[in-house]
Amino acid sequence: GDHRDLHSFPTHALPIYMYRSHTNGALRIEDVNKEVTLAGWVQKTREMGAMTFVDLRDRYGITQLVFGEEHIAIAKELGREDVIQVKGLVIERESKNKNIPTGEIEITVKEITVLNKSKTPPFTIEDETDGGEELRMQYRYLDLRRKPLQDALKLRHKLSIEVRKYLDSIDFFEIETPYLIKSTPEGARDFVVPSRMNEGQFYALPQSPQTFKQLLMVSGYDRYYQIVRCFRDEDLRADRQPEFTQIDCEMAFVNQEDVLNTFEGMVDYLFKKVKGLEVDAFPRMGYATAIEKYGSDKPDIRFGMTFNYINEETQNKGFNVFDQAESVIAIVAEDCSTYTRKELDKLVDFVKTPQVGAKGLVYVKCNEDGTFKSSVDKFYNQDDLKAWADKCGAKAGDLILVMSGNKAETQNQMNVLRLHLGNELGLRNPNIYAPLWVYDFPLLEWDEESGRYHAMHHPFTSPKEEDIHLLETEPAKVRANAYDLVLNGTEIGGGSIRIHDKKVQAKMFELLGFSDEEAQAQFGFLMNAFEYGAPPHGGIALGFDRLCALFGGQETIRDFIAFPKNNSGRDVMIDSPSAIAKDRKSTRLTPVTWPSRM
Ligand code: ASP
C-alpha cells in the first residue's frame, strides 16, 4: 500500500496521481470490487483458452491481469516489457499465489492502453536472469528492472536516509564540498580535469573531502558529514570502483573515544533500523594484536582459528624449513582430522597459488584415538606433535595446519588460508555481523619503491602523544591516533584524530619527504588555516557502497550502485572513457547544440 508515513504529512500536501490509482504491489483481498487503474511492464503472458493472463510489474510488485475474449486481439499482441495501462475490477483469484502479496487477487481488465511497445529484451527480466555480466552491464537500465537490483537500491536508499536521520539527530550538518579541487596525495592517483578558462591547468577530482572537512572544523562547523562521491585512479582490483561513495564525517573538540562512540552508535542504529538487529558493543583490537592473531588489520572475527606461534616446539628436530624460519605459525581447523589425502593436497595446492604464494603447508591430524599423523612424521615423533597440539589448543579430531618463513609474509599467507578455510567450512555466514574497531595503527609505513616513509592513513593523522619522542629516532614505531571500523573481514571505515598544530603538521610533511616549498605549495592553505585557531578535531569516513553490500549480505558492491563501472573501469553502457575530438580546445562539444537548460 502507501509506504509513506501519512502522519508526518498534512494530507493536503500529498499529491493525487492520475495515471494509476494503485501500484502493482498494493492490492489485497480487501480491495475486491474496487475499480482500479494500473500501469507497468508486461512481465509474462499466458493464454488459457479465451483468456489471457498477464503479470504486470513495477517496482512495487506484480499484479495478475485477466483479459477476456473482448480483448483477445490486443492481449495476444502483448510482448515482454511492453508498457501498458489498464482499468479494471479487482476480483478474488480462484487459485491463489501465496508467494506474492497480491497473490489473492487479480484484475479483470476493462480497458487497456498500450503506452509503449518494447523490443524483446536481450535477457530475461527475472530474479535469476539468463543474461551474462557484460550484456547486463551494457543494458544496465534493463538489469535495473530486476527485483534483486531494485531491492539493492532500495536498501541503499534506506541506509542513506537513516544515516542522515542519525547524524542530524546529533547535530551534524550536511555540507557539500567541491568536486573540482587540487591534487591531494592520499595514496592513490587523482583523476584530472582540464580547465578551459585556465589553459594548461588542471583540477583534480577529490579522493576524499579530507582537507575541506578539516577546514570546516577550523570554521567552527563542529560536526560535519556528507554522503559524497570520491574518485581514485587506482589500479582496479576486483570490486573496486574508480568513483565510490563515502559517508564522510568530521567532528571538533573530540578525542578518539568520542569518535568511536559516535560512529559505533551510528552503525548500531543502522543495524536496528534497517536490519532489525541488536549488535553487542564492538570489540576493540590493537593493530599489533590483529596482525599477531589474524595476520590482518581487518580480521574476520566471526570465527576463531587464530594464529599460534610454535617456533619453540618445532626447532632442532632436523626439519630445516622450520629451523631456519623466522616464524612457524599454526592454525587449528576444528573437526577436520578426517580430511582425505585429496582434500589436504588441495589445501597444499591452494597455498602455493600466487594468491597465497607460500612454499608449502605442513599438516597434523589429531586422530580421535589420541595419535597424530603429520606430513612431517620423518622429523617429529608423537610427543613432539602432542606438544604442538597442546600449544595450539587442538583436540582429538582437529587438523593443525602450519606454515613458516619470514614473519610478516607468513602472517599474510596464513591470513589467506584462514579465510579460505573459513569459507570452506561455512564459518563466514553473511547473516552474522561481527563489527570491531582496530586502532593504534602505525603512523608511517616504509615504501620500498620510493625508499621513504608514507603516511599509513594520510598525512593529517596525528601521532600518539606518548610516541612522539620516537618520531626522529624510530619513526616506524610511532603509532597513530587512527582507527578502522571492520565488519566481517572488510574495512568499512577509517579515520583519525588529526594534527591541528602547524608545527606538528610541518614536521609530518618533512618526515614524508616534502621540502618546505613542496609542503607550502601543496598544503599551504591548510597550514595557514591552522594558524587561526584550529580546534582539536578528528573524523572518519565509511565506505557507503561496501556498507550497503554487507547489509545486503552480498560480496560485491556493484549491484548496490545504479550505474557502476566494470572491472576495467569502463562504463560499457555509455562507452566511457572514450577518445575526444583532437581539435577540441575546450571541454565543450562543438558545435554547441545543447539546449541551454541542460
Ligand atoms: N579521508 C579519509 C579516507 O578517505 C577518511 C578520514 O580520515 O576521515 O580514508
The finding on whether 209 has its CB within 6 A of some atom of ligand 1 is no
**Residue 14: what pLDDT?**
72
Please provide the DSSP assignment of 174-219 as one string. E----SSB----SSSPPPEEE-SSSTT-EEE--S-SHHHHHHHHHT
Q: Which atom of ligand 1 is nearest to the CA of 249?
A: 8
Answer yes or no: is the C-beta of 496 below 6 A from any ligand 1 atom.
Answer: yes
Q: Is the CB of 210 under 6 A from ligand 1?
A: yes
Cα(314)–Cα(17) distance, integer angstroms? 76
Q: Could you tell me the distance, in angstroms and rounded to a whole number, from the CA of residue 80 to the centre of ligand 1? A: 46
256 Cβ closer than 6 Å to some ligand 1 atom: no
Q: What is the pLDDT of residues 305-345, one digit of tens each?
A: 999 999 999 999 999 999 999 999 999 999 999 999 999 99
Q: Is the CB of 103 under 6 A from ligand 1?
A: no
Our answer on whether the CB atom of 436 is closer than 6 Å to any ligand 1 atom is no
Instruction: Tell how far the Cα of 187 is from the centroid of ligand 1, in angstroms.
Output: 11
From 298, 441, 458, mutation site for ligand 1 pocket: most ligand atoms within 8 A of C-beta? 458
Choose one of 223, 225, 246, 460 to mutate for the ligand 1 pocket test, by most ligand atoms within 8 angstroms of C-beta.
246
pLDDT means per 10 residues, the chain with 598 residues, are: 54 78 96 97 93 96 96 93 98 95 97 97 94 94 96 98 98 98 77 94 95 97 98 84 97 98 98 96 97 98 98 96 97 97 96 95 97 97 97 97 97 98 95 96 92 91 94 93 97 97 90 90 92 97 97 93 94 94 56 51
**Is 206 close to ligand 1, i.e. is its CB under 6 Å away?**
no
- Assess whether the C-beta atom of 495 lies below 6 angstroms from ligand 1: yes
Cell numbers representing residue 566 in the block: 566494470
CA atoms of 41 and 84, how far apart (whole Å): 6
Kindly report the backbone phi and psi dihedral angles of residue 241, in degrees, each rounded to the nearest multiple of 5, phi listed first. -120, 140
Which is the closest atom of ligand 1 to the Cα of 210? Answer: 1
- In the reported structure, the alpha carbon of residue 495 is separated from the centroid of ligand 1 by a whole-number distance in angstroms of 5
pLDDT digit string, tens, across residues 249-288: 999 999 999 999 999 999 999 999 999 999 999 999 999 9
Find out whether 163 and 153 touch, Cβ atoms under 8 Å: no
Buried b (16+ CB within 10 A) or exposed e, 82-118: bbbbbbbebeeeeeeeeeebbbbbbbebeebeeeeee
CA distance 382 to 472: 51
pLDDT of residue 252: 98
Query: Would you state the pLDDT for residue 1?
Result: 44
Q: 546 C-alpha to center of ligand 1: Å?
A: 15
Give the model's pLDDT for residue 593.
52
pLDDT recorded at residue 184 = 64
pLDDT in the model for residue 239: 81
What secondary structure, in 3-state letters, does 235-266 show? Answer: CCCCCCCCEEEEEEEEEECCCHHHHHHHHHHH
- DSSP class of residue 384 equals H
d(CA 236, CA 233): 8
Q: Which atom of ligand 1 is nearest to the CA of 246?
A: 4
Longest dimension (CA), the chain: 92
Nearest-CA residue for atom 8 of ligand 1? 540
* Pocket of ligand 1 contains residue 508 by CB under 6 Å: no
Cβ(246)–Cβ(542) below 8 Å? yes
